[in-house]
Amino acid sequence: MRVSAPGRLHDRRGVVPAGYIRQVTPAVPLPDPQPRAVPGSPGTGGLVDRHGRVATDLRVSLTDRCNLRCTYCMPEEGLAWLPKVEQLTDDEVARLVRIGVEQLGIREVRFTGGEPLLRPGLPGIVAAATALRPRPEVSLTTNAIGLARMAPALAAAGLDRINVSLDTLDRERFRQLTHRDRLPDVLAGLAAAQDAGLTPVKVNTVLMRGINDVDAVPLLDFCLEHGYQLRFIEQMPLDGGHTWNRDRMVTGEEILERLSATHTLTPDTEARGSAPAERWLVDGGPATVGVIASVTRSFCGSCDRTRLTADGQIRNCLFAREESDLRTALREGASDQELADRWRIATLGKLPGHGIDDPSFLQPARPMSAIGG
Ligand code: SAM
């Protein structure tokens, strides 16, 4: 493995650590986590980092644009969009996803953004991913605006399931939170996803103290009634305005306390694996509710994610401050093997944890909308 090869490998402060090259060059070859018979590519293996974690779950951002302006994610205005020429084309996305699946052991592909439904070629990109072998699980994270129209085409393209972000059922609060009056579109999108069989439909909710924390129980009741799986996500320091404040964050523990006032929650004993959500059976089950406590109960030790941004950068962590550029190499004619090697190298440097608790923690320059949540 050539360590002098590309990829901007730095620590969180952007400094290349002394002896870095020695550190990333394994004294003995790294074990192949999922040996794959790739003809003509001896020695190929999965995305292994220096802490032994293997990335098998790929998040692909298809655009940095969004039709909502959720306050914890994007500034209301003033965010510069990626120029079109810097964005990967549909074919470039499909090629990198193929390399991930065929050469690097990716088993799950989640398209996200920005808002992925804004990408005109989405059904074709999904179809390309679902045609791959071994067949990855392919899902989508969306705000559901436009999903009522697109759900059948996405199901026909082979999409397996959908995650919809929804933080309140109150129309006025939705408008305040997102700066757009689109709650009815979201609810219609959710129903359409269910009708199209894009199940289980999961609902992602971020609660903010004094703003929508009162929505926790109504959202749970709504999801129980419709058969959606609700998951609360702790707010992370990934907002466009860099205004995140730990004291204002509603913790997983507080969320459980709120829900417990009206429902009986018992821990779901089903193995969690690398899933980010801790799950509870609601009122004895079988319905469950999940809490993704990324800040207060981080699960970096079992992280199996790798991320591709809309402009072709690999991020080995949501909070990484450095990225590895696959787009330039791809456009300069790199082979699949070379691109796979760059991706492997980018993975090696994944830090053991997101570091939010470190005094030296710095929020990534890109907000969540431009990384791909
Ligand atoms: N537009 C799509 C959507 O709304 O689901 C996909 C992109 S959005 C960035 C993906 C997820 O990230 C959403 O569920 C959103 O709530 C979550 N998210 C955005 N900013 C966040 C933050 N600061 N902390 C926690 N979750 C965040």
Contact (Cβ atoms closer than 8 angstroms) between residue 164 and residue 193: yes
Structure confidence by residue, pLDDT tens digits, 59-72: 999 999 999 999 99
Give the separation between CA 208 and CA 246, rounded to whole angstroms.
11
Question: What value does the mean pLDDT take over residues 167-177?
Answer: 98
Nearest-angstrom CA–CA distance, 239 and 355: 17
pLDDT of residue 125: 98
Assign 44 a pLDDT band (cuts: 50, 70, 90).
Answer: low
Q: What percent of the chain has pLDDT over 70?
A: 88
Instruction: Give residue 24's pLDDT band: very low, low, confident or very high (50, 70, 90).
Output: very low
- For the entire predicted model, the pTM comes to 0.89
pLDDT (tens digit, 9 = 90+) per residue, 97-152?
A: 999 999 999 999 999 999 999 999 999 999 999 999 999 999 999 999 999 999 99
- What are the distances in angstroms from CA 111 to CA 57, 128, 270, 371? 11, 12, 26, 12
* Contact call for residues 108 and 131 (beta carbons, < 8 A): no
DSSP labels, 143-212: --TTHHHHHHHHHHTT--EEEEE---S-HHHHHHHHSS--HHHHHHHHHHHHHTT--S-EEEEE-BTTTT
- For residue 72, which atom of ligand 1 is closest to its CA? 23
Atom of ligand 1 nearest to the CA of 66: 1
Q: How far is the CA of 177 from the centre of ligand 1 (A)?
A: 13
Query: Between these two residues, 241 and 331, which has the higher pLDDT value?
Result: 331
- Position 12 pLDDT exceeds 50: no
pLDDT digits (tens, 9 = 90+) for 314-326: 999 999 999 999 9
Among 61, 72, 244, name the best residue to mutate to test ligand 1's pocket (greatest count of ligand atoms within 8 A of Cβ). Answer: 72
The CA distances from residue 301 to 141, 209, 224, 229, 362, in Å, are 24, 28, 31, 25, 20
The CA distance from 150 to 117, in Å, is 8
22 pLDDT band (50/70/90 cuts)?
Answer: very low
Q: Which of 204, 250, 307 to mutate to test the pocket of ligand 1 (most atoms within 8 A of CB)?
A: 204
Q: What's the 143 CA to ligand 1 centre distance in angstroms?
A: 9
Q: Are strands 305-308 and 313-315 parallel, antiparallel or unpaired?
A: antiparallel
Lateral strand order in the sheet of 288-292: 265-267, 278-282, 288-292, 229-233, 202-206, 161-165, 137-142, 108-112, 57-61, 305-308, 313-315, 324-325
- Give distance in angstroms: CA of 348 to centre of ligand 1: 26
Span of 59-73, 185-199, 203-217, 262-276 with lowest mean pLDDT:
262-276
Interatomic CA distance for residues 335 and 69, integer angstroms = 39
> Which residue has its alpha carbon closest to ligand 1 atom 1?
115
* CA–CA separation, 276 and 263 (whole Å): 22
Query: If you measure from the C-alpha of residue 238 to the centroid of ligand 1, how many angstroms do you get, rounded to a whole number?
Result: 9
DSSP for 6-62, please give it. SS----TTSPPPTTHHHHHS-SSPPP-SS----TT-TT---EE-TTS-EE-EEEEE-
pLDDT digits (tens, 9 = 90+) for 289-348: 999 999 999 999 999 999 999 999 999 999 999 999 999 999 999 999 999 999 999 999
Pocket of ligand 1 (CB under 6 A): 66, 72-73, 112-113, 115, 141-143, 165, 204, 206, 233, 235-236, 238-239, 368-369, 373
Ligand 1 centre and the CA of 368: distance in Å? 7
Q: Rounded to the nearest whole angstrom, what is the distance from the C-alpha of residue 293 to the centroid of ligand 1? A: 14
